[in-house]
Chain A
Amino acid sequence: MTLNDLRYLSITEVAAGIRQKDFSSVELTKACLEQINAIDAKLHSFITVTADLALQQAEQADLELRSGKDRGSLHGVPIALKDLYATKAIRTTCHSAVLEHWMPDHDATTVTKLRDAGTILLGKLGMHEFAFGGPSVDAPFPAVNNPWNTAHIPGGSSSGSGAALAAGLCYGALGSDTGGSIRTPSSHCGVVGLKPTYGRVSRYGVIPLSWSLDHAGPMARSVEDCAILLQAIACYDAKDPASANVAVPDFRAGLKDGIKGIRVGVPRAHWFDENKGTDPQTETVFNEALQVLENLGAVVVEIDGLPFSIARKANQTILIAEAYAYHEKTLQSTPEKFGSSVRRRMLEGAFLSAADYITAQRARSELNEQIRANFSRVDVFTTPTAPRPPEAFESMDPNEQNLRPSFTNPFNLTGLPAISVPCGFTQGELPVGLQIVAQPFEESVALRVAYAFEQATEWHKRRPNI
């Protein structure tokens, strides 16, 4: 097998290949490291490459398999982590000068779970500084580029996770999502990303942006790979105060059951008529995706009367207030260590009152009640993941971005599980994602709909020319 043959295998194919001795975990890891060396200078998706550790872990994985110890689907599979997951004795920067040299003395719970599952850590991935705002021009590490067109943004804040997967530099990754930071880069890079239900995956050891909105979750090149990664990291964790003590199902069990009769809610009235920021090409691609779902037997239900227009405002208010609270001391003592745009956005939180924060939390309750009431009429919601395709760095205005409608924000406020799956391309060959949202702790339903869509289309098979 050549490097290129290995590059875009799925996790399932990699697991089978290792067991059939088509290749070893060491060979696979070396192939990934060679690809990173060859390609990543164009993308900047990695901040830190842990080559020695990866090869050591791969040798151990091969040794274990030879001696009969099999840790399951992720045994020997090379992955990478957004650089806000604490990794013991491995630099964890949050893409910021504030933590440029920080060596955590602990692992995030998710990191421990992935290691126990036998994964190989290739390194730590670039992101938006502290998972906030847009790509920074004045951070100590370069902004990540989109593999489909390096002049365009990859979306964020889990930008390195999206770019590395799309470029075939790793087989799975973790991102984090406070307002869309798993789903947006998944959409912009043509990969799959799942924001699980709030409480499903531990946030312990994940540097916070906004405690009540932050979600940790998997990103991969296929829906099934996302399910495999979620299986490994989902758990109750007493170290995370928001962790939910609920049963963890087999996320792959019903994946292939089809979606005949499933009711798909489309809140089009709000997201296409009321907000003017939706790109016409995105809308066209989305409508074609709905047709695919209908052809598979789903029933599309138009939904209105939901207060989605308040979601962006409530999300921004809560996020800014909580982010400022977390970073207050550093912003007071060494503000120059933050990039200018992140610093400015975080400082806005200093001027919100307690009543402002409570007002946003009241709006959150309102949104939550109304969205959940609609689950008597539908099984899932669906929207485009992002209102626009990835913009060129040159024309990007982070201030304007903050004012646009968001299709992802409402589901951070409500904590509902939401997945983005590739659903088409613009005329400029940039990917578009479809978001599917399910009821609390029904990730399996979101995964099933996404899988049915993925298998009925070819979009996930396209690769960037990088």
Chain B
Amino acid sequence: MTLEELSVLALQAGLKLTQDELQRLLPGVNRSRIQVAQLRDLMKEDQEPAGVFSAQKAQSR
């Protein structure tokens, strides 16, 4: 992701960030994206995500 793309996404997310802040943020954002890409490559196609909604549990609150 480039600095310009990050700037656009930040605005869409309702974040008011200075150029300096965006610059500092960029390496971490790109690192996160790389991490997710690595995870995606490791996944079996039929692997479902963790986390199941329980209607019973929601009722009991």
Contact = CB atoms under 8 A, between A and B. Distances in A.
Interface of A: 212, 238-239, 241, 307, 310, 313-314, 316-317, 320, 331-332, 335, 344-345, 347-348, 350-352, 356, 358-366, 368, 399, 403, 413
Give the dominant DSSP class at A's interface: helix
A344 B10 CA distance: 13
Contacts of B6: 351
Contacts of B49: 358, 361-362, 364-365
Interface string B9-49: 11001111100010011011101110110111011100111
B9 to A, nearest CB: 6
A363 B32 CA distance: 15
B50 A320 contact: no
Contacts of B9: 350-351
Contact of A361 (B15, B24, B50): B50
20 contacts: A238-B61, A241-B57, A310-B39, A310-B42, A313-B38, A317-B39, A332-B14, A335-B15, A348-B28, A350-B13, A351-B1, A351-B9, A359-B36, A360-B36, A362-B49, A362-B50, A363-B39, A363-B47, A365-B50, A366-B47
Nearest to B48: A365
A70 B44 CA distance: 56
B39 A241 contact: no
Given A238-B60, A331-B15, A344-B24, A352 B42 contact: no
Given A352-B36, A359-B36, 15 more contacts: A241-B57, A307-B42, A310-B42, A317-B35, A317-B39, A320-B32, A331-B15, A332-B15, A344-B21, A344-B24, A358-B49, A360-B36, A365-B50, A368-B50, A413-B50
Interface of B: 1, 6, 9-10, 13-17, 21, 24-25, 27-29, 31-33, 35-36, 38-40, 42-44, 47-51, 57-58, 60-61
Contacts of A364: 49-50
B22 to A, nearest CB: 10
